Every structure is written in C-alpha cells, then in structure tokens.
Structure 1
Amino acid sequence: MSHPRIYIGCAGWSIGRDFAAQFPAQGTHLQRYALRLTGVELNSSFYRPHRRTTYERWAQSVPQDFRFSVKIPKRITHDLRLVGCEAELEIFMEQCSGLGERLRCLLVQLPPSLVYEKTVTEQFFSILRERCTQPVVLEPRHESWVNAKQLLTIYEITQAAVDPSRISTDRTPQGASVVKYWRLHGSPRIYHSPYGPDYLETLATQLQAVQAESLWCIFDNTASGAALADALALSGLLDGK
C-alpha cells in the first residue's frame, strides 16, 4: 500500500493572536489556515446549519489538496438520537455536498447518554450510507458501543481514536480501514491542555506506521489556543520524517 495522505488540523480554523505571525497575513482565516495545515474539522455544522453556497465558497477558497471533515448536526445525534432523522440528514447532506471533492469525511459524535441499540444503529447507518459515499467517522461516548464492531465493519464506519479516552475501545482507531482518525481533546484538562513534545513525537511515529488510504489527526484543545500550536508542531515533525 502506498503511504497514506495525512490530514492534520484543528476543530475549526480560528487563528489566535499568538499564532497569527505563523500564517500568511492576507486572506480570510480559512484561506490563511489552509496554507499551513492540510485539513480541518468543521464543528460549527454541529450547532447550526450552513447554506450550500457557504460550503461552496469555503471549498473554492482552499488549495486543491485541502480537505474538510464535517460534523453531523446535534439535532440528529443528540436531539433525535439517530431515530427518525431521514429528513434532517437529507438536508444536511445537500448542504455540505457543496464542498464537492474537498469533503473527505463525516463525523458522528454521540452523547455520553446514548446507549448502543443494534436496531436503531443499523437503521441509522443504512440511511446514512444511502446518502453518503464518503468515509464516516464515529465517536461514541458510552461503553455499550464496544458491541457495535460488527456493524462498523458492515457499513464501513471508522471509530475514532480519542484522547482522553471515553470507552475501552477508543484508544486506537477501530472499524473501517479506509480512514483512520484521531480526535485529541486535550489532557489532563479537556479542551485546554496542550500536548507536550514527547507525546507529539510518539504520535508522529505512530501515524507514520499506520496503513490506511488516509489518516486524520484533529486537535480539539481549542479553548486555550493549544490546538493550533499542537497541529503546527505535529505537521513539522511529520515533514521532517
């Protein structure tokens, strides 16, 4: 297998004042961000819808090889809890398909209270796969989801590796092998703590050894601005390997 494409980025493309000098001075935040990093996880779609024209504009503003991971709306995962969400999913897919070929994967982040139910999960994966050919990444947060391995394989769903870990199977990527995905939220203080040089060096070595078509490493420790620093540092380490 050829060496996989590695997409490194943050949950969002905000550029804090402390890091502005490390990015081009001209352009929107997204344009500047996309000239230094290779991917982004779009989290705002979790909270509110975006017009298709907005997605189209974003796609047109980034380099050809830049890719987006788009988070499925909270309305589907947390409010409807994967049940009876066909209409909402149809609308969401029509909107985010405005990214065209720059849409690389969809992220399904589940609430900690959502227990795995085989029938519900299979129905959701089925309607999702009818509408989506891109890789799908799942981040479950209830231990019962360790029982979903068979459905992950059948529907070619990737389970993300997560830090800090939420369930016993999320320390390494599980499920489909097309995409391997890491979501790093900051540890020990979630959303705030930076990852030190030793952690990032180990992670860079680990990413180099993984076999998949593409790898994603997203830093979600954005509350203190650490995500950008970590993403830039990891990118630099991989460029040097």
Structure 2
Amino acid sequence: MTPESLEPVGIASGRASIGAARIGISGWRYVPWRSVFYPKGLPQRRELEYVSGRMNSVEINGSFYALQTPASYVRWAAEVPDDFLFSVKGGRYISHILRLKNAEKALPNFFASGVLALGPKLGPVLWQVPPNLAYDRGTIDAFLGALPRTTTAAVEFARGHDARMEGRSWLKTDANRPIRYALEVRHPSFECEDFVELARHHDVAIVVSDSAGRFPQMFEVTSSEMYVRLHGAEELYVSGYPEELLQTWAARVHGWRTGESTDGRPRDVYVYCDNDAKVRAPFDAMRLAEIVAELAGPLERSG
C-alpha cells in the first residue's frame, strides 16, 4: 500500500469504484502522421500539445534510444494539461546492451537525465527486454530490486550518476511520490509461474503485449496497475485494430478498472497504441478511449 507520506498517483484503491484509464500512443513525433493525424501546417513543436488535447497520456519512447535532457522533460510537462500523465520507457542501453546487469551507473544516469522533472505528470516507467533475453530469476530479481520506489529515493539514487551527467542532471523532486514500474518481456521462457510470482513480489506490472503473435501475451495481474501495449492486430507495428477488437480490449480495460475480472480491486490501467507505421495508433487510441468511457459512464458519474 502507498504510505501516507507519499502523494498518490491516480485513483487509490478503496476510495473509488473504478480505476483511472490512461489511453494514448507510444511516441508522437512521426513524419507520416503529419497532414494525416496532425493538421496540415501544424508546427512540429505543437504536436505534443495537439495530442494532449485528444488523449490523456503518452508513452515517451525517445528515452529508450538515448538519454533525454532535463530541458526536454520540463518542456514536455509544460505543453500538456495538469491531469496528463507520461509513461517513460527505460533506456535500451540498460535493457538490451547491459541486459539488465552491471547497471550500477547506467541506472542512476537514467534517473538523473530529467525523468523527475515531469513532476506530478510522471506515470509508470516501462522496461522492455529483448526477444533473445531468456528468463533468469536472479537477474530479474536483482534488477527490479534495485529500482527506486519513490521520487525522493530516485533523487538520492540519481546522485550516483557518472561524470557524463555532470552539468546535465536533474536531482530534485517537488514532492515525494511513488514510482510505478512495468516490464515487457519478449522471450517465451518468461511464461512461467516463477516469473509471475517474482513480478508480484516486486509489485511490478507485467505488460499485456499484443504483438500479432510475435511475443508472449501475459494477462496475469501482478501490480496495482495494468499496463497494455497494442503493437498491431495482424502485423507488428503496422496493423490497425478493427472495431470488434477495440470492443474486446475495452471490455478488458473495464474489467481491470472495476476489478470485476480479477480480485475485485479497482486498478489504474495504462494502454498505449504502438502500431504507428500506417498512422493507425492515434485513431485506435482515441476510439478505444471512447468505448472505455462509454462502458464506465455510470460508474464514473456515481464515483
């Protein structure tokens, strides 16, 4: 449970009949989206603002490819409404190069890079492991156990950064908040009860990954949040989601939000459409959000 000294993120269980639904896209800066999703002539610098007027969350994926700067995080936070949340994707240097090992400096560098500058708009941190990384309990246990669990702890953790971050680090927080984590796995060996129990022990969400059958799809509830990534119904990163599939996913989101499909405990749900290649992601995200809102309407009005 969240200690009373922490400022809660989302809707706390026990005080609401339904959890929050955060539905958005993975990244927002895609050239093919211009004049299709983004209006013709919209300046690139206003694309995030445009997205935030139509969705309530975005998954930052530039942080996967390289450490971002505090100035970027500050700017992004300023461009969206107060009730908007960002999920942040952890760096591939940690997950794909170091393969979650020997990250004693890389992890503090990540947290020092400006993630905490998002302030109250910081949502979960996503870690995605590569398809050729098999499940090893010791590795996963050590990595998840090393992650700071509050923003105050993350500040102290980030002070362990190396010399590369001197002069470009962000080492402060405006409040002590919990930091939530999600892990997306891509090797079939993770489909075992031992991994599920380990994720539950660390209170980390196992990502429900829809990948046209390419990667494991696990629906186990292991955290106080659910985290979903929709990569394409039939072709990875390309296919859109037809109405019937969006209805199916909306029903799942509703079940998790209310607890009806799990243990009766309402959970916040994060869903990100990552089928960006054919400009399907933003339209699928907006339609999914509409259906979820329709299903939840009576409960949200009464709550």
The alignment's TM-score, normalised by the length of structure 1, stands at 0.91
Relative to its length, the structure with more strand (as a share) is 1
Unaligned 5+ segments in structure 1 are: none
Residue 174 of structure 2 is matched in structure 1 by none
Corresponding residue for 2:97?
79
The amino acid of 1:223's aligned partner reads A
How many residues align? The count is 238
**1:141 maps to which of 186, 193, 199:** 186
The structural deviation recorded for 1:171 is 3.9
- Tell me, yes or no, if the aligned pair for 2:23 and 2:285 is still in contact at 8 Å: yes
- Does structure 1 conserve the Cα–Cα contact (< 8 Å) formed by 2:38 and 2:47? no
Name the counterpart of 1:30: 48
1:59-208 superposed matches below 5 A: 59-94=77-112, 95-129=114-148, 133-146=178-191, 147-164=194-211, 165-166=213-214, 170-176=217-223, 178-208=224-254
Structure 1 residue 42: deviation in Å? Answer: 0.8
State whether structure 2 residue 49 is matched by structure 1 residue 4. no
CA 1:26/1:159 → structure 2, altered by over 3 Å: closer, same or farther? closer
1:187/1:136 CA distance change after superposition, 3 Å: same
**Aligned partner of 2:133: which letter?**
L
Shift, 1:21, TM fit: 4.6
- CA shift at 1:26, angstroms? 10
1:151, distance to aligned residue in structure 2 (A) = 1.5
Aligned partner of 1:85: which letter?
Answer: A
Q: Is the 8 A contact 1:173 1:180 kept in 2?
A: no
**How far is the alpha carbon of 1:166 from its aligned partner?**
4.8
Distance change in 2, residues 1:148/1:224 (3 Å): same
Q: Note if 1:235 corresponds to 2:289.
A: yes
Rg (Cα) greater in structure: 2
1:27-84 Cα distance to aligned partner (Å, 9 max, x none)? 7111111111011111111001111121111112111110011100000000000011
Of 255, 267, 271, the residue aligned with 1:213 is 267
Q: Could you report, residue by residue, the CA deviation over 1:180-215 in whole angstroms, capped at 9, with x for unpaired residues? A: 011110021110000001111122122112134310
Aligned counterparts of 2:83 and 2:276: Cα–Cα separation in 1: 24
* Corresponding residue number in structure 1 for 2:300: none
Letter in 2 for 1:198: E
Cα distance in structure 2, aligned partners of 1:173 and 1:218: 18
Alpha-carbon separation, structure 1, partners of 2:215 and 2:276: 22
* Counterpart contact for 2:206–2:218, Cα < 8 Å: no
Q: Which runs of 5+ in 2 are unaligned?
A: 1-13, 155-177, 260-265, 296-303
3-state DSSP of counterpart to 1:175: coil
SS at match of 2:147: helix
Hey, what's the Cα distance between the residues in 1 that align with 2:220 and 2:63? 23
Structure 2 vs 1, CA of residues 6 and 115 (structure 1 numbering), >3 Å: closer, same or farther? same
C-alpha distance in 1 between matches for 2:252 and 2:246: 10
SS at match of 2:49: helix
Query: Please, what is the CA RMSD of the aligned residues?
Result: 2.1
Instruction: Provide the C-alpha distance between the structure 1 equivalents of 2:198 and 2:58, rounded to a whole number of angstroms.
Output: 27
